[in-house]
Every structure is written in C-alpha cells, then in structure tokens.
A and B are shown apart, each in its own frame.
Chain A
Amino acid sequence: MFTGLLAELEKNLKKLPGIGSKSAQRLAMFLISNHQDDALKLADSIRDAVEQYTNCSVCNILTEYEICKFCSDAHRNEQLLCIVENTQDVFLIENTQEFNGKYYVLNNLLSPIDGIGPDEISFPQLISLVKEREIEEVVLALSPSAEGESTINFLAAELTEFVQKITRLSTGLPFGGDIEYTNKLTLGNALIRRYSV
C-alpha cells in the first residue's frame, strides 16, 4: 500500500482511462524510480498541452490555436460539414483519408439522464454556423448508440430546413458499437457509403 505523495500519484493515475490499481502502482513506481528526467518532461508536456489546448472558436475541435488547422484550411470543402461527438473522432475520420470537408464537434450527445439537452451539444452555435455558410451536405458521423441515434434524429429534424442533404454513416459499423472501436477500413467504407436520413 502506497502512502503520502505516492498514494496521491497513484490516485491521479487511476483516473486515466484503462488504468486500474495495479497499473497505477506500477506506473507510479516507474515514474519516481529510474526515469526522473523523463517523468519531469512528461509532467511539463502534460501541463503545456492542457494549458494551451482549447476548443476551436468555430468548430470546437481541441486545438492550440484560436482557429484550428481544419477551419483555416482553404483547400477543404466548406460546403461539406461532418458532425462528430469529439476531437478523437475527427482524427479517426482523418485517418481514413476519405473526407475533405470541415468538421463540427458537439462535445456531447443528447442524454436526459445527464441533463444534456440541445444547449449542451453546442446546438445553437451549430445552427448559426449552418445558416452562415451555404452548406450542401451535413454528415452525421455519430455512434449508433441510444444517445447517438437520438442526436442524429434531433439534428436531422432541426437542420433539414437549412441543408439540402443530411447523411449518416452506413451501418457497416458494429451494432451499438462506438466509432472509436471501428478500424480504419470499416470507418472509411461507412463514410463512402453514407446515406440520407
């Protein structure tokens, strides 16, 4: 059993996804014993990244600039908008190399249990962005979970008067699965075979 500072470190490591008690203890020991330089570098870069990264003022992607590299990229198709749950999903879609439009990050999905309604999924900003740009197609790249499905239904209903075409990913995705767990190939196919809602 760890005590004092070490216990504190273990407690904080355990908050990371996928880290249990045993791994947290092993990591804590690793950090304080032989690799002190590396550990301090890690601490610095955690601080830098956390402090520098904020949500892009246009699309909510986590970025170290005021406006992210996707929003400021003139080669990307402004008329094509992909709506995702979080920044991680953006990078998953980028990896497929099948998408050359812009992104919009909701940062949440509708979930009344957690008190998350339209205002908590950045919906008001999304509506003004859609009205401002003449968007031809919105791709709803959300997971087919209960929350994802209802968010797709909601956005489709709300956006339909402003956008000609609203599509969602094809159901090549494992049912009830998360897009995060889908490999590159399947996600790429799901994007190519997207269909209108």
Chain B
Amino acid sequence: MRVSKLEIIDFRNIHKFEKNFEPGGAIFFGKNGTGKTNLLEAISYCAFGKSIRSASDSELINFSKAFFRISAKFSFNHLENIITAANDDHKKLIKIDGTKISKISELYQYVKVVYFSPEDINLISGGPTNRRKFIDLAISQSSYKYLEDLRLYHRILKQRNALLKSDFSRNEKISWDTKFIEIGTRIIISRKKYLKEFIPGLSEKYFFVSGKRENLDVEYKHSFPTSEFEEFSNSFANHLERIESDEMRLQRTLAGPHLDDIIFKIDNNIARNFGSQGQKRSLVITARLVQADIIKRKDSEAPILIFDDVLADLDRGRAQRIMDLLGEEHQIFIATPNIELYEKFNLERIDLENLLNEK
C-alpha cells in the first residue's frame, strides 16, 4: 500500500501543498507549528474519512476559508485509486475515483493506514472506551461484515434502552433480546478471534522492545460471567435474564460487548495502574505495529505507517528496538522536530519551513 501523490488546499494551516512521494515514504521536519502533523493528518483523513485528532471537520478548515480539499493517489494490490476528501460549506464529500461514497467506512477497503499518535497512550491510560474503539477499528479495517455487525448492534442497543424505559410486553422484549444476543455474541467472538492473533504477536514484540525483561499478558474482560462449558450466547442470555429487574429499574442495558474491556498486564501488573510512562508508550506503539502486521497478513500488502513523533519521549533503547522492528515493506511517514532521532531511516526529508513558505 502506497500513497504516491498528495495535494492539499486550505487544510488547517496549509494553504497549498502538492508533492509526489517515494515508495519508502518521507520525514516531514521543521519547528513546531510548521504543519508537519497536518500533513500526516491529511493522509490519514483519506483512510478514515475523518480527522484522527479532532472530532469536527470545521476545525480543519484553514482559518478564514470556507472549505478544504485533500486529494491523494493510492496504490493497493497494484490498483491505483484517487481519493478526494473535501468539506465545503459544512458538507463532507468523499470520492473514490470520482464516485461519491455514502459511508466513510467504504474507504477502509481502499486505504490501509496505521496511525501512531501521541494520544494513543489513552489506549492504556484511559477508560475502556479507548480499548474497545481500538479493537473495533482494527477489525473493521479488514472486515466489512464486522463493521455492519457493530452498526446493527449499536442500533439494537439504542432501541433496547428505549424499550427498558417503556411498558413492554414479554414477546416484545424477547424479540429485541434475540437479535441483541445474536449480534452481541458475534461481536465478542470476532474480537476474541482477533485477539488470538494479536496477543502472541504483541507479547513477542513487547518482550523484545523491553530489552527481553518484561512479560506481557492480555485478557478479554466480559461484562457477564462465562464458562468454558457453555456457549457465549447462552451465558449472555442467562445473564440478561438474571439482571432483568436491575435493567428495568435503571432503564438501560447492563451487559454486552459495549461494556467489555481488554486488560494489558506487564509482569502480571495491570499496565493501566502500574505501568510507567515509558512502558505504556512503548506498549501502545507495539500494539499498533501488531495491528499493522495483521492487516498485512490479511491483505497480503503492508499498510502505510504514520508516526506523529511518537518515539521522541521514549528512552533510546526502546526507541531503537521499535525502529528495528519496522519492516522495509511499509511506506512510512514521520513528523518530527528532531530529525537526528530517525537517522537510520533512509527516507526522503521534506523541510516544511522552506516548502510552505516558498510561495
């Protein structure tokens, strides 16, 4: 997977940018405030159909302008696609080869990007929502079916919560629960299947990154009791039956994959509570690398890796070992104020101060 050309008009502080990229990628450098990260953001916008950093598109529009436009040429499995993303007068418009798409998730099939952001630390330090989002997006990048299940599940969940607030009949409740349990179970099974691939890769790589000193464990935490002798769907259904009076009293759903969590443990201690900053940072970067590995295995093509200066805060040893793990097969984009840190990468260097001030 490669991006060979990027054009930007009025995106954040970038008025106009046009550049062809080498297959290996590039390092954007320059002082803070030169717009390095904005370029990374523009590339990833084409992969996710939204900003990786801010929730609303309006923040992305160049000050005093009414719109932005990003256009990028990607190649995937030897096919070229041009993705254009624009926001004009508060309307988002994304096209693949000139054809408008209706759901941003359609992009996932065309552009595979793994973004390493400083905010990723929340995957370990933050609440369970961060971890569910991580695994849901990771699976969705390779499975449209999973994304459809997630959408359906959240719709049913919303309906079920409304039902719990109302005066419902027995059969009405069962009708919603049947589908809720079916789709919920399918989501849990997909996540556990993903983790089966993810955990061994992560443990192995994290052991290496920690200098062969730390052992990593990952557990999936259910929102209902499970047993190895019982199907998930039965455990789920039985639990919902047991908690029905609680759910009716609190008028909302109290079990299901929307409440599950993933627990990371370093040397048997929960990383969220006991991990050092260095451990947490290197752990999330390693997790992103394994996410990229799994995409590569599924699609037989390596995703684009985007680094928003995430190695800067690590000690030299960990940073070095993470760089050792990066395969040549990925196209890599890095934004940093200290180019020396990334000297071992033989990437084209793009000095933003010169480039954006030329005009």
Contact = CB atoms under 8 A, between A and B. Distances in A.
Interface of A: 110-113, 115, 117-118, 145-147, 149-151, 153-154, 157-158, 175-176
Contact of B175 (A110, A113, A145, A176): A110
Nearest to B158: A113
Contacts of B165: 112
Interface SS majority for chain B:
helix
Given A147-B159, A175-B148, A154 B168 contact: no
A150 B159 contact: yes
Interface SS majority for chain A:
helix
A157 B168 contact: no
B340 interface: no
Given A117-B168, A145-B155, A154-B171, 16 more contacts: A111-B159, A112-B162, A112-B163, A112-B176, A118-B169, A146-B156, A147-B159, A150-B156, A150-B159, A153-B174, A153-B176, A153-B178, A154-B175, A157-B175, A175-B145, A175-B148
Contacts, number: 55
Give the interface residue-count category, chain B. 20 to 34
Given A115-B166, A153-B179, A176-B151, A146 B159 contact: yes
B172 interface: yes
A176 B148 contact: yes
A157 B171 contact: yes
Nearest to A175: B148
A71 to B, nearest CB: 27
Contact of B152 (A117, A157, A158, A176): A176
Contacts of A118: 169, 172
Contacts of B158: 113
Nearest to A148: B179
5 contacts: A112-B166, A117-B168, A145-B155, A153-B175, A157-B174
Contacts of B155: 145-146
Contacts of A175: 145, 148
